Amino acid sequence: MLGTIVNTCTILTGSFVGSFLSRGISEKYKTALFDALGLATVGLGANAVVHNLPKSEYPVLFIASLAIGTVIGTRLDIAGHFNALLAKAKGGSKLAEGLSTAILLFCIGTLSILGPIESRLNGNNTYLFTNATMDLVASTILSSAYGFGIALAALVLFCWQGSIYLFAGIIEPYLTPGMMTEISLLGGIFLMSSGVGILQLRDCKTLNMLPALVVPPVWYAIVSFLK
């Protein structure tokens, strides 16, 4: 769990530093920072899609996953419940936007998924330390725009990576390169959607798309069973 603890601490540290640096910044510069964050998030998402789409074994799977997952997420109103949970917080709507972006950025990635498995099975924390370094920078930037509330993403990450760490022996055989490609591809789409929201071009309700992550494992389980 050392790697996960370090990763959690870097997000808390980055959130503190970023929120401290944001004090005294005028609204004009905060708006410019939101624009920069939005473009950076779209860029990171686009890079993930471009990098993973050519490696996909089933190029239409991510489209089907998004369609199925979004219908389920919309029916459950995940985004609505999440926003309601943070509604009473200072700057609740903005915090919800930033926090959802942070959670996707910190948790839905190859390093954050494979890192706890590598740590548990082989005692190797390299993936998690690398992820922690990137999350330190990202949390500093996000909290400078959205405030210290971004630190809540550290709790989500700890529970996420901690669960993977505990069940590493069980889930490791099923996390094939093909499945990880599909999950990374969806993660890229989610980040692009979040970036579009930060830029205030359209509220895509990215959290409602999260059930899409369940579709690739189900598909690969079906394919494996039929072989």
The DSSP secondary structure of 150-178, one letter per residue, reads GGHHHHHHHHHHHHHHHTHHHHGGG--HH
pLDDT at 71: 96
Per-residue model confidence (pLDDT) at position 142: 86
Residue 205, φ and ψ in degrees, nearest 5 = 50, 60
One-letter amino acid identity for 119? S
* Mean of the per-residue pLDDT values of the chain: 87
Residue 147: strand, helix, or coil: coil
Contact 210, 73 (CB under 8 A): yes
Check residue 24 and give its pLDDT: 65
Kindly state the tokens that stand for 225. Answer: 């069973």
Give the pLDDT of residue 10.
95
Is residue 30 a contact partner of residue 145, using CB atoms and an 8 Å limit? Answer: yes
Confidence of residue 88 (pLDDT cuts 50, 70, 90): low
- In the predicted model, is pLDDT for residue 110 greater than 80? no
27/200: higher pLDDT: 200
- Residue 26 clears pLDDT 90, i.e. is over it: no
Q: Judge whether residue 174 has pLDDT over 70.
A: yes
Are the CB atoms for 129 and 82 separated by under 8 Å? no
Whether 103 has a pLDDT exceeding 60, the answer reads: yes
**167 confidence band (pLDDT: 50, 70, 90):** confident
Q: Are 44 and 108 in contact (CB under 8 A)?
A: no
Judged against a pLDDT cut of 70, whether residue 176 lies above it is answered with yes
- Angular region, 103: left φ>0, alpha ψ -120 to 50, beta rest: alpha
Give residue 141's pLDDT: 84
The mean pLDDT of 7-28, rounded to a whole number, is 85
Report CA dihedral (158, 33, 96, 91) to the nearest 10 degrees.
Answer: 120
- Please state the φ and ψ torsions of residue 199, each to the nearest 5 degrees: -75, -5
131-150: pLDDT as tens digits:
898 889 888 888 888 888 88
The alpha-carbon radius of gyration of the chain (Å, integer) is: 17
Q: CB of 125 within 8 A of CB of 2?
A: yes
Share of the chain above pLDDT 90, in %: 32
- Sequence-ordered list of residues with C-beta below 8 angstroms from that of 219, at least 6 positions apart, any chain: 58, 61, 65
Q: Judge whether residue 65 has pLDDT over 80.
A: yes
Residues with Cβ within 8 Å of 180's Cβ and at least 6 positions away in sequence, in order, are 110, 113, 114
- Of residues 28 and 48, more confidence is placed in 48
Rounded mean pLDDT of 32-41? 83
Amino acid 155: pLDDT: 93
Which pLDDT belongs to residue 105?
85
Indicate the angle between helix axes 152-166 and 110-122, nearest 10 degrees.
50
Instruction: Answer whether residue 207 shows pLDDT above 70.
Output: yes
Average pLDDT over residues 173-197: 88
- In this prediction, residue 84 has a pLDDT band, given cuts at 50, 70 and 90, of confident
Task: Provide the residue type at 219 as one letter.
Answer: W
